[in-house]
Every structure is written in C-alpha cells, then in structure tokens.
Amino acid sequence: MGMLETIGRSVFSLGTERMKIKLIVAVLLGGVVFLSGCGGSPSLTQSYMRENASLSYIKTVAVLPFEGSKRAPRIRELTTTQLLASGLVDVIDKGRVDSFLQQEAIPPAEALDNFTIKRMGESLQVNAILRGSVEQTEGVRGNSTFTEMIITLRLIDTETGLLLWQASGRGSGYSLLDRMFGFAPKDSFTVTLDLLNALFATMR
C-alpha cells in the first residue's frame, strides 16, 4: 500500500503541476491578447453614408486640395494613392483639378456652391469630388514622441451637390506594446496610411 500511495501522490502532484503550468500559460496569453486589443493605438473612425444612397454609380472622382496642416498637400497625394489602391473608384490627375480651380479663381479651401460643383463635374467629367481636412500634432509620453493625426474626408455628388459619404478618424503612432518591448513609435507616413485605409473601409 505504501508504494501505491507514493505513486498516487506523485501522479497527483504531477497533474497539479501541469494544471499550474496551463493556468500560467492561459494568463500570459490572455494578457497578451488584452494588451494587443487595448494597449495599441488602432485608428478610430466614425462615418456617415447618406440613407438609401448607392456609390456604385461613382466611377471617377476628383480629389481637391486638402485643408489644414502644412502636410495637407502630401496627405492629399497619399489619399489619391490609397483611393486608387482600394479599387473603389478611379481618380483624375490632380493637375487637371488644380488647373480648373485656377481658371475659375477658386481658392483651394473655399466652400463650393452647387452650381460650381456641377460645373466642375461637367468640366472634369467626374461623378464626385473628394474634399478633405487634416490636423497633425505630436504627442509625448515619457521620453517618446509620436505622431497623432486627424483626417476628415467628404464625398460630394457633382450632379446634385449632396454629401454622399463622410468619414473622420484619428490615428496615433503610440502603442503600449511597442513601448513595452522597446520599439519605436509608428512614423507619420505609416499612421496616415493606416488611418486612410480605415476610413476608406467604411465606404465599401
């Protein structure tokens, strides 16, 4: 009986140790999942789509100059690239857009009335125009500096002047996981691309 008791205790002890190991692994995995979900800084977006509106007829779009920070021209370029890459619509060359604005003596940030929007659509042969605004700041946590970006995009029908879709989003280069493991914050280019992709995902 003594030998059987010893074996039994050993088996029980081994089983208990295995349970402890499994519990520790589960806790560690749960912590990683939790930190991945809330420790990072994913793009936060909010969007509006006109009720009963379909964007299937929007084939070609003109991207107008962006308002906001000094990086607005660069972000306009990235927006055009990502919009083309998304395959949602075609985009005309910005030179044609800027030329129309110059000929019509329209300041880039000026509000457009329905008549002007319709004339732009007919002249440039586009179904819609895309307007945007951008705000970029730098955040600081400890000795880490990172980019924070806010972008708003508006898609306007050139025939009616109606707002079809609007999306706003905030992106950040800061991530708790990156900081924990000593990685550098995402640069402004990566933050912008991630945010634009998140915005365009709401258009689908």
- Report the alpha-carbon distance of residue 54 to residue 47 in Å, rounded: 15
The CATH number given to whatever domain includes residue 149 is: 3.40.50.10610
Q: Are residues 108 and 18 in the same domain?
A: no
Count: domains in the chain: 2
Report the DSSP pairing between strands 144-157 and 67-68.
unpaired
Q: Are residues 33 and 117 in the same domain?
A: no
The pLDDT tens digits of the residues spanning 49-70 come to 998 888 999 999 999 999 998 8
pTM score > 0.85 for this model? no
Its domain, for residue 24, covers: 1-38
Q: Which of 199, 186, 110, 118 is nearest to 153 (CA)?
A: 199
Q: Are residues 167 and 179 in the same domain?
A: yes
The pLDDT tens digits of the residues spanning 145-164 come to 778 999 999 999 999 999 99
Q: Are residues 68 and 126 in the same domain?
A: yes
- Report the alpha-carbon distance of residue 158 to residue 170 in Å, rounded: 28
Q: Are residues 19 and 85 in the same domain?
A: no
